[in-house]
Structure 1
Amino acid sequence: MTGIRQRRQLLREARHLAPGASEEAEHGRRVFAEGRGPVLTDLDGNQYLDLASGTLTQSLGHGHPEVVAALTAQAHRLWNVHDSATPDRADLLELLARLLPDHLDTYAFFSTGAEVVEAALRVVQATAEPGRNRIGALRHGFHGKTMGARMLVHWDIGHQSFSGNSVLGYAPYCYRCPLELQYPACDVRCASLVRRHIAAKPNVSALVFEPVLGAAGVIVPPPGYWERIGEACRDGGVLLVADEVLTGGGRTGTFLAAERFGLEPDLVTLAKGTANGFPFAVLAGRAGLLRRPEAAPPGAYASTFASNPLGIAAARATLEVIERDRLIDRVRVLGDLMETRLTALHRRFDVLGQVRGLGLLWGLEFVTDPASRTPAPDIARAVYTKALDLGLRVALGGHILRLAPPFTIDEALLDEGLTLLADAVERVVTP
């Protein structure tokens, strides 16, 4: 339960803070004061194992000493000179070139996920052939809250509609197939329709997609989905723009989730874990795109905080640790442990409609019963808050809980966290 110091702090905030916080903040009502590795401490001194890694951002856990040292040293030297060159920038560029697929050899730096998605859209729009004036995206996708990102997925606000320029294809949401088919008998019909309505259309310039749909609840595509779409887009001259803001940096067991599905995107966006939660984002792409004069007039890749020295320092330190300590191999090992434990959890409780994930990114979908598959946000919220009371933090969104532990967590702590999660589910469904 929230302690007295936290309640007082939340009351002070409420006098001036606008509403509209995340579901996690609204229902959790905690005031976190400190983080070390996979552990958070609140204002009353209670500790929590953080299997959400901040907002699915802390690849190395909270307060990693090498990232702290890099940020502290840089803070003493220089903070912002717009996008002018600084001593560490070339090192970060060369590090990215080692970690990313060879064809993604040119980079631009930004500060947030939505900002880098907007930059990718500008590149697509600037380089598209005449007549290719539409962009494809996937239902259930999420690319940020800015206007261009919202337009992609037809996310209107109020009475204003700005979504006429994108074409939506079917996401590989097998558990709730909109075509009412069953995999594999369906022959991946959703992919065939994306091929027909996006990849084969001469007026579509690009497909913007999450290889694994994160905000929608960690929707992992079945075999054949991306293989068919990727090939069709390449044949049809439709650019592939992979939104890896969440998945990039190793979270699914490869540096890019696209690599797990044999995709070779033309542009990739990264943020969240790239700088261990410090605001920093990367647009990676083929030189033939990012260096084209139409895409690179003066100021095209610049903004107030783009390429700032602090973000560069944090990203360089984070990625150097991931590379040096072979943490992506570690992600695959820990991911196998999560799969085993969560599969067993799924079998125990009927309210768990589906458990799905890759590497250290997992989603738990709660339903009222397995037959109707009716979403059960009340149950998800109850499990989320009960887990907090037990000392475990996960990520809440509607009727889905997401888990994204730091890459540096040890097996014993991860196992303890999954045991706490099982305990929380049991206490909610069998009070």
Structure 2
Amino acid sequence: MTDVAADPENAAELRDQVVDTLIRDGVIVSPQVEAAMRRVPRHRFTPEATVEEAYRPYAAVVTKKNEHGISISSVSAPQIQAMMLEQAAIEPGMRVLEIGSGGYNAALIAELVGDSGQVTTVDIDQDVTARAERLLAENGYPQVRVVLADAEDGLAAHAPYDRIIVTAGAWDIPPAWITQLTERGRLVVPLRLRGLTRSIAFERRGGHLLGLSARACGFVPMQGAGAHQEQLLLLCGTDEIGLRFDDGLPGDPSLLDNTVRTPRLEVWTGVVVGRTELVDTLQLYLATALPGFCIMAVDPALDTGLVEPNHPSFSLAAVDGGNFAYLRVRPTADDRSVEYGIHAFGPQREAFAEKMAGHVRTWAREHRGGPGPQIRVFPARTPDEQLPGHLVLDKKHSRVTFSWPSATAADQAVPPASSEGDDHR
């Protein structure tokens, strides 16, 4: 490491405060990750930000924007980086591939693998790799290999890897990310699942992946061959209400043309949760249980009150033919809890509202407080009869399966993936 004498006086103090906060919040749980994050000077890898901005525990630092002002590269929040490193369980001597460069995270990985390990970081953007290479060399990590490439095919030259960590939002898992792992090696990837993103730690088991843990997160999307655009459906032919579909539009979108102009039905489920209760599994449950699942967003500047979401930019929703519904909450009398409800539109709105409400009740009865689904990934060619799980999401390269164990199940042959989050949407 380089001399720290020129660092701002409060840099080390701010760095320790971040680590202390993440330990208190249960994000950092291992002494190895703690030591790495106390040692690597994050502010030196984020020259675009002030020292105070660099050490905000739950905030990313944007390092590059496109011509529309949209972030296309960033140094992730310390909380996200610590979370994914804990999921990866990196040990000294390991060979690690990072897909998506920034410099700081590669330095943390270098601390974890030690002198006997190897770290390769790859990015598709020459500006990003040049920046990462410069910052790593300036701050005492010249041993980290920086490569300019599209990582859709991994990086065979330095494989196999004990760990692959992806730091961009991926819609799919290319075959190379599996075949370039050692047996029982881990892939940690922010995987998009019907509009929801989860950082999932997978372990290689032969030709498929077994999910070990899942955590809510958000990342800039993958570029290059692995890029995938969600599709937007505008209701009523205006920009007021948009539905985002991650796996293709419904069969006949025209059936929804005037749905939100039908009378709105309100149904309350009787499912009450505390304002601080972790309910992230509800998002995944609805995404896997409802075939027409999507995300609704309302433009505040154009809002005419046709819908009343709790979160204008992100509401869980679903469609079925000419019917449309979204999840809503209302406070209880003591204002310490909220109750889930449904707003539904369309010719069969009563039946559709009850269907969606039934899924919320099933989650509350069978999966609330549970570990979340067991997630596995198989090659795209895998026949249906060889797939476990209650739901299969088909992607270009892979088939992702979900199995939902009961929250009260005493024995699980394989530990399900856990989830975190407290967003009542």
Q: TM-score range by the shorter chain?
A: under 0.3
Report which of the two structures shows the higher radius of gyration computed on alpha carbons: 2
TM-score (norm 1): 0.25
Q: Which has the higher contact order (CA 8 A, sep 6+)?
A: 1
Write 1 or 2 for the structure with the bigger share of strand.
2
